Structure 1
Amino acid sequence: MVAHLDRVRVGSSAHRRRRRDRGPKPRRSGRSAPAIRSPQRSVRTLPWLARVARSSVMDGKRWARTRVVSDPLTDYERWELGTYIEGQTVSERIRIALRRDVEEVGPDFRLFDAGQADAVAVVMEYDAERRWLGAEKATAHDAVAELLALRDRVDAATVSLNEFLAGRRG
């Protein structure tokens, strides 16, 4: 189990694919966790994150994200899409697919250096209450290749974040 994703080395590329339509189930107070509010992790407010963004651009690293969403969007998805705008400003490639346009999309996962000999996949695990439990790291060629093929299949049904926000939803 990978406890912290920051322990995974990123050589030249990182890709994140998410499919969840909700955050964790509401707590007893009735509020969703995390509370839906403006993102706190920002290149404007966290110097270390700004350094990562600058060095990624300077080193030619590619960051990409594919998000599968409902139509209409859930409150959680609407909030989450709003947090992506800043990532896009620092060269993250963000693509959105409607759930109805893709078949079963498998687990949430991250791919690091896909297509390289030392590629790594990290598959996210959640409990029945949609709380993150951790992640399993996969380095076997077949496991990484299967997730890469899944990413490519889902990506074929996506539009850019800008197109999605402008109303072009497939």
Structure 2
Amino acid sequence: MRSNVPAAFTDLLAGTTRTAVHLEMRDSYAVDYEAGPFAGWRRGFRHDPDDRASWWRPWLGLVQETVTRGVTIRRARIVSEPVTEYTRYLYDTTFTNVAAGELVRWLPRRRASDIAVPGNDFWLFDDQVVRWNHFDGEGRSLGPEVTDDPAAAKLCATAFEEVWARATPHDQYEIH
């Protein structure tokens, strides 16, 4: 069931009053090996955590604003081990998400084998609205889909909580 809830991510987050959770399950997302942040990271560039002005971006401001309103934002990543180069990049840059107020955990894919997870990454807002993130085989976004179908929301909530319970907090996870 598709919903008439707003599809814009910022609108969904603005309407959230308690929790926003995000489950990521891909080993790479739209990797650009020639340009952009991932390419810079591959060439050895690393953000200085102490130079906040150099890495702060609008997304982090939105997260910080949302967390300041009292919303808990949690992100869990199911990852293959050994991790891909892109996952290593995500790991190295996750300190920015944490600085903005997100709680982030990592779960090795082998430890998620018996968890029923949806077929797509998702955001779940207040356990009621799901924003599916659809990707092609190369990790390019095919656009979101939003639903308030109670069965989909329950599936996502249950899957996320099971992943979260098994996952390791970012500051304790060791890249393999």
TM over 0.5: yes
Partner of 1:132: 141
| TM-score, normalised relative to structure 1 | 0.77
Identity among equivalent pairs (%): 23
1:24 aligns with 2:30: yes
CA deviation map 1:35-82 (0-9, x unaligned):
513699x97355755653443343211111001111111010011112
Q: Specify the code of the residue in structure 1 equivalent to 2:20.
A: A
8 A Cα contact 1:25 1:33, kept in partner: no
Flag structure 1 segments of 5+ consecutive residues without an equivalent.
none
Secondary structure in structure 2 of the residue aligned to 1:128 = coil
Aligned partner letter, 1:10: T
Which structure has more relative contact order (CA 8 Å, sep 6+)? It is: 2
What's the counterpart of residue 66 of structure 2?
56
Normalised TM-score (structure 2): 0.75
Superposed CA RMSD: 3.0
Kindly tell me: are residues 96 and 12 of structure 1, through their superposed partners in 2, closer, same or farther at Cα, counting changes over 3 Å? same
Counterpart mapping for 1:75-114 below 5 A: 75-103=85-113, 105-106=117-118, 107-114=120-127
**What secondary structure is seen at the aligned counterpart in 2 of 1:52?**
helix
Partner of 2:19: 13
Number of corresponding residues: 158
SS in structure 2 of the partner of residue 60 of structure 1? coil
Which stretches in structure 2 are left out of the alignment for 5+ residues? none
Contact kept, 8 Å, 2:73 with 2:102, in 1: the verdict is yes
